[in-house]
C-alpha cells in the first residue's frame, strides 16, 4: 500500500447542528456538575469514527468542538440545589431499592468535528458538483448514525426545522487561504447564535494561582481552583462622586469580588481529562473491564478551567476546537483547547507574529488531587 501524501488530505468540517439531547450526564466529575465532561465528546468522536469506518466513509475525525444553545439541568431550585432522582421499584424482598444519585440534563447543542478527507482516490474523477453531492450524502448518513448513538449518556431526539437555520448535518471542505476560512467561519458563527462555545482557560488557573500566592505563599493549585470557582465578596472602597456638598469627601463602600473584573467572561471549573493512578495493566487482568482486549489503567479526574464564549467572538475555527492528548510517561490523558485568551487588542499582531501564535495553548496548568510521583501533579 502506497503512503498517502499530505497534499491529498483535504481538511473538512463536519457539523451536527442543533442536536436535542435528553437526560445527558450532568455530573462531570466528583467535584463538578452542570454540563457533561469535555471528555464525553472526545469519546463520542472516537465512537463515531469507528462507525464511519464501518460505513465506508473516508473521513478521519481529529478535533471536536461543542456549542450549547439551551440547557435544562434536572434539579430542584432552592438555597441548595438537589438532583431530581428516579424512584426505583422495590427489590424481590419487598424492600426499597437503594437510590443512586444521577445528574441529568437536557441539552440543545451543535457539535463540530474537524476531519481530513482523502482526495487521492477520486482526484480528477469527480467534479465540484459531484463532490458536493457526495459530501451531502455522507452528511445525511452521519446524521442518521448519530441519531442512534448516545451523547454523554443522553438520547438524541429529532430536531424540528428552524427558519433561517440549518438543522441537518453538513460537511464543507475548508479553504486553503486563512482569509477565506475566516470569512466562512464568520458566516457559520452567525448560524450558531444564540449559543456559547466551551473553550479551555488554563491561563485563568495560572493567573489566579499567582495572585493567590502573593497573599498566601503556600497556596496550591487546588486552592486557586477553589478560589476561582466561587464568589469571594469583599468590601471595596470607592471614591464618592463630587456633588459639591459637604459629604463629597466621604467614601462609598460596596461589596464585590475584586478578582472578577469587568469583562472577565463566563468562566467555569471543569474537568479536562484523567491522570493515571497505576501503570498499564495487561489486557484481561482486571475483571469487569469495558474492553478486556486492551490494557487497563486506573485513573482519576484532572481539573482546570473553561470558559463559555459566543462563537461570533472567535476568529478561526481552530479556537473553537479541542483534541485529545496522551502522555504515557507521566500518565496524563487530557483534552487540549485551541483557544488562547489574549488580553491585548485583537488587531495588535506584530510583524513577526501570525494568527497561529494566538491559538497556541498555554503550558499545562491542570492538576489532580492525588500525587503518586510527586513531580507532575498536585498533592492534596
Going by pLDDT thresholds of 50, 70 and 90, the confidence category of residue 43 is very high
What average pLDDT does range 48-53 have in this prediction? 94
Tell me if 336 is assigned to some domain.
no
156 pLDDT above the threshold of 70: yes
Tell me if 25 is assigned to some domain.
yes
Say how many domains are in the chain.
Answer: 1
Q: Give pLDDT tens digits for 81-134.
A: 888 887 778 888 888 777 777 889 999 999 999 998 876 555 456 677 888 898
Tell me if 24 is assigned to some domain.
yes
What is the rounded average pLDDT for all residues in the chain?
81
Tell me if 118 is assigned to some domain.
yes
What average pLDDT does range 173-186 have in this prediction? 84
**Pairwise CA distance, residues 260 & 163, whole Å:** 38
Mean pLDDT lowest for which of 53-67, 95-109, 231-245, 349-363? 349-363
Tell me if 120 is assigned to some domain.
yes
Q: Give pLDDT tens digits for 294-345.
A: 899 999 999 999 999 999 899 889 999 999 998 888 889 999 998 987 643 3
Q: Is the dihedral of CA 361, 363, 369, 371 positive or negative?
A: positive
For residue 34, give its domain range: 6-76+101-174
Element of type H or E holding 69: strand 59-73
Buried (b) or exposed (e) across 224-238, using 16+ Cβ within 10 A?
A: bbebbbeeeeeeeee
Tell me if 111 is assigned to some domain.
yes
Q: Give pLDDT tens digits for 270-295.
A: 999 999 998 889 998 998 888 889 89
What average pLDDT does range 220-232 have in this prediction? 86
Tell me if 18 is assigned to some domain.
yes
Going by pLDDT thresholds of 50, 70 and 90, the confidence category of residue 373 is very low
The dihedral region occupied by 293, where left means phi > 0, alpha psi between -120 and 50, and beta the remainder, is alpha
Tell me if 28 is assigned to some domain.
yes
What average pLDDT does range 345-350 have in this prediction? 38
Amino acid at each position: 500500500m502506497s503512503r498517502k501524501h499530505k497534499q491529498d488530505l483535504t481538511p473538512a468540517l463536519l457539523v451536527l447542528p442543533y442536536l436535542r439531547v435528553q437526560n445527558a450526564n450532568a455530573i462531570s466529575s466528583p467535584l463538578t456538575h452542570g454540563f457533561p465532561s469535555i471528555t464525553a465528546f472526545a469519546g463520542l468522536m472516537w465512537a463515531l469514527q469507528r462507525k464511519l469506518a464501518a460505513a465506508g466513509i473516508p473521513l478521519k475525525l481529529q478535533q471536536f468542538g461543542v456549542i450549547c444553545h439551551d440547557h435544562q439541568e434536572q434539579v430542584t431550585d432552592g438555597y441548595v440545589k438537589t438532583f431530581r432522582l428516579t424512584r426505583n421499584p422495590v427489590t424481590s424482598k419487598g424492600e426499597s431499592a437503594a437510590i443512586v444519585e444521577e445528574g441529568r440534563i437536557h441539552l440543545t447543542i451543535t457539535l463540530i468535528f474537524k476531519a481530513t478527507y482523502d482526495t487521492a482516490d477520486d482526484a480528477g474523477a469527480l467534479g465540484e458538483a459531484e463532490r458536493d453531492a457526495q459530501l451531502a450524502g455522507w452528511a445525511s448518513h452521519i446524521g442518521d448514525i448519530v441519531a442512534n448513538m448516545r451523547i454523554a449518556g443522553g438520547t438524541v431526539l429529532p430536531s424540528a426545522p428552524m427558519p433561517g437555520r440549518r438543522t441537518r448535518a453538513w460537511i464543507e471542505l475548508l479553504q486553503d487561504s486563512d482569509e477565506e476560512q475566516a470569512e466562512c467561519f464568520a458566516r457559520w458563527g452567525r448560524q450558531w447564535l444564540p449559543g456559547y462555545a466551551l473553550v479551555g482557560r488554563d491561563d485563568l488557573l495560572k493567573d489566579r494561582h499567582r495572585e493567590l500566592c502573593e497573599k498566601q505563599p503556600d497556596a496550591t493549585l487546588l486552592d486557586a481552583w477553589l478560589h476561582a470557582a466561587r464568589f469571594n465578596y469583599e468590601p471595596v472602597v470607592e471614591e464618592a462622586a463630587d456633588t459639591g456638598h459637604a459629604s463629597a469627601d466621604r467614601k462609598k463602600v460596596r461589596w464585590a469580588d475584586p478578582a472578577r473584573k469587568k469583562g472577565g467572561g463566563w468562566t467555569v471549573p471543569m474537568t479536562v481529562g484523567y491522570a493515571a493512578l497505576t501503570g498499564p495493566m495487561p489486557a484481561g487482568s482486571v475483571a469487569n473491564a469495558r474492553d478486556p482486549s486492551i490494557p487497563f489503567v486506573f485513573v482519576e479526574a484532572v481539573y482546570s478551567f473553561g470558559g463559555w464564549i459566543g462563537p461570533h467572538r472567535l476568529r478561526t475555527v481552530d479556537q473553537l476546537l479541542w483534541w485529545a492528548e496522551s502522555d504515557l510517561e507521566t500518565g496524563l490523558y487530557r483534552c487540549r483547547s485551541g483557544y488562547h485568551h489574549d488580553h491585548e487588542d485583537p488587531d495588535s499582531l506584530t510583524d513577526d507574529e501570525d494568527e497561529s501564535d494566538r491559538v497556541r495553548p498555554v503550558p499545562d496548568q491542570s492538576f489532580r488531587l492525588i500525587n503518586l510521583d510527586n513531580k507532575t501533579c498536585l498533592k492534596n
